[in-house]
């Protein structure tokens, strides 16, 4: 049995290595092509390493930064991501705490409504969403976070509610006896305990909002505002042709921030997801 288990572990390790290579290889090729001159990207040498005469250095990165409004798009993406994630963390944690602690049929219905929202395809609501956003003036980077709050609340409430159920209610009752208000109990007692789940939700939602292309394209005025994914999709060079070099460079610069966020908080993801989905 031990030998069979060891063989299984070796095969699993090899499989994971193969999958890792398959996932990393496209990103590696994007980085390689971001360092090539334009002619080397559009020919049969696209999959080869850059030679001395085809090596562009950081020229493509400089072009991406100084053309097409990359810095403006970076600012819009950062603003949308920060405001959306902050709203999701604050509102959904408070909502999950309330519907978990206050037992009623309405709260049970709300909880299952949040859970049900996770399985509703976005395509079912995207056309009515676009019209509603225009009517309510939610079509700018400064207030689109309200829409993201609605779409991100299902997963967030589910995870927060699962973790809140594992918190002994006696802790909150003791704080209440000591004279704490409900808000003080939440921010001073519940929030510190919720930290692992908050980190997990923050990373998951930040990755989603930062990389999202469809929702901003439907809601925002593309002639005024472009997020990073929208900019990459519409990257153009002279005479309307696609500038492949700067586009590859902009993709790499777009990936780096969210990868850093993921690396810094990856140890909390599994712990927070497991706590929010299993406990209680």
Q: What is the DSSP string of 90-110?
A: HHHHHHHHHHHHS--HHHHHH
21 vs 11: CA distance, rounded Å = 15
Is residue 74 scored above 50 in pLDDT? yes
Distance from C-alpha of 15 to C-alpha of 8, rounded to nearest angstrom: 10
E-assigned strand segments in 132-222: none
C-alpha 253: how far from chain center: 16
Assign 194 to helix, strand or coil. Answer: coil
Same domain for 152 and 202? Answer: yes
| 173, HSE (Cβ side, Cα atoms, 13 Å) | 5
Strands (E), 53-196: none
Q: Are residues 164 and 269 in the same domain?
A: yes
Read off the pLDDT band of 118 (50, 70, 90). Answer: confident
- Report d(CA 116, CA 25) in Å as an integer: 36
Residue 55 DSSP SS3? strand
The range of the structural domain enclosing residue 264 comes to 67-278
H helix count then E strand count, the chain: 14, 0
> Which of 24-33, 72-81, 237-246 shows the lowest mean pLDDT across its residues?
237-246
Q: Which one is predicted more confidently, 49 or 136?
A: 136
Q: How far apart are the first and last CA of the chain?
A: 35
Residues 10 and 143 placed together within one structural domain of the fold: no
**Does residue 110 have a pLDDT over 60?**
yes
Q: What is the mean pLDDT of residues 117-138?
A: 85
Final residue of a structural domain among 58, 83, 102: 58
Last residue of a domain, one of 29, 58, 87: 58
pLDDT of residue 279: 46
Residues 121 and 158 in one domain: yes
* CATH at residue 229: 1.10.3720.10
**pLDDT tens digits, 220-279:** 888 888 898 888 877 765 555 677 778 888 888 888 888 887 777 776 666 655 554 444
| Domain match, 34 and 78 both | no
3-class DSSP state of 243 = coil
User: Does 4 or 32 have the greater pLDDT score?
Assistant: 32
Same domain, 38 and 145: no
Residues 220 and 103 grouped into a single domain: yes
Count of domains forming the chain? 2
Q: Sign of dihedral through CA atoms 202, 273, 266, 185?
A: positive
User: Of how many residues is the chain composed?
Assistant: 280
- Angle between helix axes 145-164 and 70-101 (nearest 10 degrees) is 40
Measured at the CA of 38, the angle between CA 37 and CA 42, to 5 degrees, comes to 125
Does 96 score more than 90 pLDDT? Answer: yes
- Distance between CA atoms of residues 89 and 196, nearest Å: 12
> Of 37, 58, 79, at which residue does a domain stop?
58
Please write down the long-range contacts of 52-60, taking CB distance under 8 Å and 24 or more positions apart: 56/245, 59/245, 60/34, 60/35, 60/36, 60/245, 60/246, 60/248, 60/249
* C-alpha to C-alpha distance for 165 and 21, rounded to whole angstroms: 40
Q: From the CA atom positions of the chain, what is the Rg in Å? A: 23
14 shares its domain with 125: no
State whether 52 and 71 are in the same domain: no
What is the pLDDT of the chain when averaged over all its residues? 83
Looking at the structure, do residues 149 and 203 belong to the same domain, yes or no? Answer: yes
Provide the 10 A C-beta neighbour count for residue 10: 10
**Three-state DSSP class for residue 36:** strand
Q: Bigger pLDDT: 142 or 122?
A: 142
Of residues 240 and 87, the one with the higher pLDDT is 87
Claim to verify: residue 51 and residue 81 sit in the same structural domain: no
Q: Tell me what pLDDT residue 236 has.
A: 61
* Pair 110, 181 in one domain: yes
| More confident call, 221 vs 100 | 100
């Amino acid at each position: 049995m031990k030998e069979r288990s060891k063989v299984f572990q070796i095969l699993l390790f090899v499989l994971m290595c193969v999958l890792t290579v398959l996932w990393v290889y496209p990103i590696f090729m994007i980085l390689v092509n971001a360092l090539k001159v334009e002619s080397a990207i559009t020919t049969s040498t696209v999959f080869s390493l850059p030679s001395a005469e085809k090596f562009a250095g950081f020229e493509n990165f400089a072009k991406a930064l100084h053309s097409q409004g990359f810095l403006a798009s970076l600012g819009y993406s950062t603003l949308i991501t920060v405001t959306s994630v902050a709203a999701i963390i604050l509102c959904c944690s408070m909502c999950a705490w309330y519907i978990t602690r206050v037992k009623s049929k309405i709260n049970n219905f709300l909880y299952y409504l949040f859970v049900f929202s996770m399985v509703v395809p976005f395509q079912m609501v995207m056309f009515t969403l676009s019209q509603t956003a225009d009517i309510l003036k939610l079509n700018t980077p400064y207030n689109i976070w309200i829409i993201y709050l609605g779409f991100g609340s299902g997963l967030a409430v589910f995870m927060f509610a699962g973790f809140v159920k594992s918190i002994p209610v006696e802790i909150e009752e003791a704080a209440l006896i000591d004279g704490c208000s409900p808000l003080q109990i939440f921010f001073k007692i519940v929030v510190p305990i919720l930290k692992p789940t908050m980190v997990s939700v923050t990373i998951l939602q930040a990755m989603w909002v930062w990389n999202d292309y469809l929702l901003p394209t439907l809601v925002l005025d593309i002639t005024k505002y472009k997020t990073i994914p929208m900019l990459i999709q519409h990257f153009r060079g002279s005479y309307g042709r696609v500038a492949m070099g700067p586009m590859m460079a902009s993709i790499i610069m777009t990936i780096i921030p969210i990868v850093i966020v993921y690396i810094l908080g990856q140890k909390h993801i599994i712990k927070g997801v497991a706590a929010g989905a299993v406990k209680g």
